[in-house]
């Protein structure tokens, strides 16, 4: 089915998320929509799917103008979507999720579950999926959940399928499999819109590429375009894709982790028997697919996990069993993975956020009173130093862009005397300019002789920053390898293979 968007405009208050966007996707074509985070790709697709109402423009399917009041209309017209955050009910089974909204029923509204199971099995067989229709979705790995999303869309005979950042949660191998599925769908005449900000994937699978920047279409490209060409189109200027850094000069072992385990509320080991060390002046990257224990590891270091076994020493001092306050006092700078939830208080000003972890002592507090002058001077300095783009230090942090919020976090964590930096997903959701800045700050910390742990699910980031790479899988470390390890080896390790198996 041919999809055409003409002059789509969507505003959120003063912000124009989509500004007269035109897009044509031919039948049986994989059309990549490339753009940075915040460029307006997802907004556009939510307009197409009827989740948002456009302020202007029209949607055509096979040259007929459509009017979608809600997702139901879009689906009936043949549009399916695989959402970035899966739209699945965790406590429902696969079959229940697939049938929801277009349930076939027997007498008296009784669900025809057998029919739904059959449908799941039939579509699974067509694409070689191994999906149990009676499995609960919350018990399934994310890769399989994504397949459930695909089955869900196909069970409604979607002829246009939108994939919204589908590879963010996948291992490189799963990503390859997804590409194969996309090609298979294309063979059957399904049109595919593939939203992403990852250049490599685009070039591999797309027939045509449309690049969006700041809510506008800035150009079309062929899949033969180089990475640098695509990147400069996406960002609007030439981009240096590599991080500038000198070889590491590691010193003595600073952080030593021995037999570290974290037990969750269900008595499961979510981190199991970790052993590693980080030297001064080196970056250890923790790679792995999301949800393999990385979050719990960083929280264990910070004293945020209630049940931790084993030992973590920083310069000989034991950290396990300390409160977060005492861990911070030991000289740990922490960039949490969810800056909005854990890194900042959105309703506080930049200045207040900059002193959040120093509210108990001088110079910012004397006899229980905030030293506003001192704080203001300090905050102004940091605004300058960390290139935080804001009207002033009294601006509420919630009003800043993601990149500037992250700079506030970095400014707070790095402008104290740090003996260890733990940065979890430091560039998630940031634009390229901010990513460059964050990376340079992390490298600068390393060059100042600080041991650094960077947790990232982005292989590009891991490869760009790491001096050594520890790959986590199901709570354990599969192996620790040098920073120049080939990507395919890292990819296999992320799926649980040992370095030797992976290199073979």
Partner 1 sequence: MTTTAALNADREVARVRDLKTPIGLAVFAIAALLMGFAFPRDGETTFRLSTGSDFIQLPALVVPTVGFVAAVAVLMVLMVFGALAFSFLHPRGKSPLWLVIVFVALALFAFLTWAAAGKTIPLPGLLIGALALSTPIIFGALGGVVSERVGVVNIAIEGQLLFGAFSAAVVSSVTGQPLLGLLAAMIAGMLVSLVLAVFAIRYIVEQVIVGVVLNVLVMGLTNFLYSTVLTANTAQFNSSVRFPSLEIPILSQIPIIGPVFFQQTIIVYLMYIAVFGVWFGLFKTRWGLRVRSVGEHPTAADTVGIDVNRTRFWNVLLAGAIAGMGGAYFTLDSVSAFGKEMTNGMGFIALAAVIFGRWHPIRATLAALLFGFATSLQSVLGIIGSPVPSEFMLMLPYLVTIFAVAGLVGQSRPPAADGKPYIKS
Shortest approach of partner 1 to residue 151 CB, angstroms? 13
* Between 116 and 185, CB nearer to partner 1: 116
Looking at the Cβ atoms of 76 and 227, the one nearer to partner 1 is 76
- 355 phi-psi bin (left φ>0, alpha ψ -120 to 50, beta other): alpha
Other beta carbons within 10 angstroms of residue 275's beta carbon come to: 12
Least distance in angstroms from the C-beta of 433 to partner 1? 27
To partner 1, the closest distance from the beta carbon of 477 in angstroms equals: 5
CB-CB contact of 424 with 335 (8 Å): yes
Query: From its phi and psi, is residue 64 left (phi > 0), alpha (psi between -120 and 50) or beta?
Result: beta
Binding residues for partner 1 (CB under 8 A)? 12, 49, 51-52, 70-73, 75-76, 81, 83, 86-92, 96, 99-103, 105, 108-111, 152, 263, 265, 267-275, 293, 307, 472-479, 496, 498
| Shortest reach from residue 38's CB to partner 1, in Å | 16
CB of 275 to partner 1, least distance (A): 7
Taking the least distance from each CB to partner 1, the nearer of 263 and 376 is 263
Structure tokens at 373: 């002058």
Q: How many CA atoms lie within 13 A of 173 on its CB side?
A: 13
Nearer to partner 1, 212 or 272 (CB): 272
When the beta carbons of 91 and 372 are compared against partner 1, the nearer one is 91
Whole-number minimum distance, CB 479 to partner 1, in Å? Answer: 7
Question: Which lies closer to partner 1 via its Cβ, residue 92 or residue 129?
Answer: 92
Select 152 or 197, whichever has its Cβ closest to partner 1: 152
Supply the minimum distance, in Å, between the C-beta of residue 475 and partner 1. Answer: 3
Nearer to partner 1, 75 or 327 (CB): 75
To the nearest whole angstrom, how small is the minimum distance from the Cβ of residue 415 to partner 1?
Answer: 36
- Shortest separation between residue 263's beta carbon and partner 1, angstroms: 4
77 or 445: CB nearest partner 1: 77
With beta carbons less than 8 A apart as the criterion, state whether 494 and 289 touch.
yes
Shortest distance, position 270 Cβ to partner 1, whole Å: 8
Nearer residue to partner 1 within complex by CB, 195 or 390: 195
Q: Which of 229, 220, 310, 215 is nearest to 262 (CA)?
A: 310
- DSSP, collapsed to helix, strand or coil, labels residue 262 as strand
The phi, psi pair for 400, rounded to 5°, reads -85, 160
**Count of C-beta atoms within a 10 Å radius of residue 238:** 9
d(CA 169, CA 370): 43
C-alpha–C-alpha distance, residues 22 and 8, integer Å? 7
Would you say 398 and 341 are in contact if contact means Cβ atoms under 8 Å apart? no
Q: How far is CA 210 from the centre of its chain?
A: 22
Question: Taking the complex as a whole, how short is the minimal distance between the CB of residue 301 and partner 1, in angstroms?
Answer: 18
Q: For residue 335, which of 344, 326, 325 has the smallest C-alpha distance?
A: 344
**Nearer CB in complex with partner 1: 307/326:** 307
- Specify the pairing of strand 3-12 against strand 15-25: antiparallel
Report the C-alpha gap between 58 and 157 in whole angstroms. Answer: 23
Is the separation of the CB atoms in 335 and 422 below 8 Å? yes
State the pairing for strand pair 452-455/56-61. Answer: unpaired
The CA radius of gyration of the chain, in Å to the nearest whole number, is 24
Q: Are 279 and 250 in contact (CB under 8 A)?
A: yes
Question: In whole angstroms, how close is the CB of 140 to partner 1 at the nearest point?
Answer: 13
DSSP for 424-452, please give it. ESTTTT--HHHHHHHHHHHHHHHHTT--E
Q: CB-wise, 110 or 238, nearer to partner 1?
A: 110
Q: How far is the CB of 114 from partner 1 (least distance, A)?
A: 13
Residues 136, 439: Cα–Cα separation, whole Å? 40
| Token reading at 106 | 């027997």
Choice between 307 and 389, CB closer to partner 1: 307
**Which residue, among 264, 411, 262, 423, has the nearest Cα to 335 in the 3D structure?**
423
């Amino acid at each position: 089915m041919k999809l055409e968007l003409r002059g789509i405009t969507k505003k959120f208050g003063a912000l124009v998320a989509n500004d007269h966007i035109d897009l044509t996707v031919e039948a049986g074509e994989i059309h990549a929509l490339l753009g940075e985070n915040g460029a307006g790709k997802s907004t556009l697709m939510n307009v197409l799917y009827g989740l948002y109402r456009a302020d202007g423009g029209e949607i055509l399917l096979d040259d007929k103008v459509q009017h979608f009041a809600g997702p139901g209309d879009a689906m009936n017209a043949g549009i399916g979507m695989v959402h970035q955050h899966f739209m699945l009910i965790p406590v429902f089974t696969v079959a229940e999720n697939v049938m929801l909204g277009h349930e076939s029923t027997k007498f008296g509204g009784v669900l025809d579950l057998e029919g739904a199971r059959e449908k799941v099995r039939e579509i699974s067989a067509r694409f070689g999926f191994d999906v149990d229709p009676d499995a609960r979705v919350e018990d399934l790995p994310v890769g399989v959940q994504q397949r459930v999303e695909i089955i869900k869309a196909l069970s409604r005979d979607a002829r246009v399928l939108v994939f919204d950042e589908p590879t963010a949660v996948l291992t490189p191998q799963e990503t390859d499999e997804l590409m194969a599925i996309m090609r298979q769908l294309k063979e059957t005449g399904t049109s595919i819109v593939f939203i992403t900000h990852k250049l490599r994937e685009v070039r591999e699978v797309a027939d045509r590429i449309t690049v969006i920047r700041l809510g506008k279409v800035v150009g079309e490209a062929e899949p033969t375009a180089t990475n640098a060409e695509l990147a400069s189109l996406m960002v609007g200027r030439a981009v240096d894709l590599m991080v500038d850094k000198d070889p590491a000069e590691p010193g003595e072992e600073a952080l030593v982790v021995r037999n570290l385990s974290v037990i969750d509320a269900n008595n499961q080991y979510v981190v199991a028997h970790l052993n590693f060390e980080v030297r001064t002046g080196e970056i250890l990257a923790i790679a792995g697919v999301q949800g393999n224990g990385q979050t719990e590891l960083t929280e264990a270091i910070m004293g945020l996990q209630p049940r931790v076994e084993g030992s973590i020493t920083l310069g000989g001092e034991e950290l396990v069993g300390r409160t977060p306050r005492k861990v911070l006092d030991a000289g740990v700078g922490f960039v949490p993975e969810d800056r909005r939830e854990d890194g900042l208080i959105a309703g506080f000003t930049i200045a207040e956020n900059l002193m959040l972890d120093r509210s108990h002592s001088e110079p910012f507090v004397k006899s229980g009173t905030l030293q506003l002058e001192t704080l203001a001077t300090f905050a102004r300095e940091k605004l300058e130093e960390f290139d935080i783009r804001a009207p002033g230090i009294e601006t509420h942090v919630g009003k800043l862009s993601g990149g500037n919020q992250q700079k506030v976090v970095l400014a707070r964590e790095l402008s104290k005397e740090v003996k260890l930096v733990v940065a979890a997903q430091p560039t998630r959701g940031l634009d390229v300019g901010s990513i460059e800045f964050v990376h340079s700050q992390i490298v600068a910390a390393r060059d100042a002789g600080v041991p650094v742990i960077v947790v990232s699910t982005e292989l590009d980031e891991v490869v760009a920053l790491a001096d050594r790479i520890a790959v986590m899988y199901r709570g354990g470390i599969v192996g620790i390898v040098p920073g120049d390890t080939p990507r395919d080896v890292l990819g296999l390790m992320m799926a649980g293979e040992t370095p030797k198996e992976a290199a073979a």
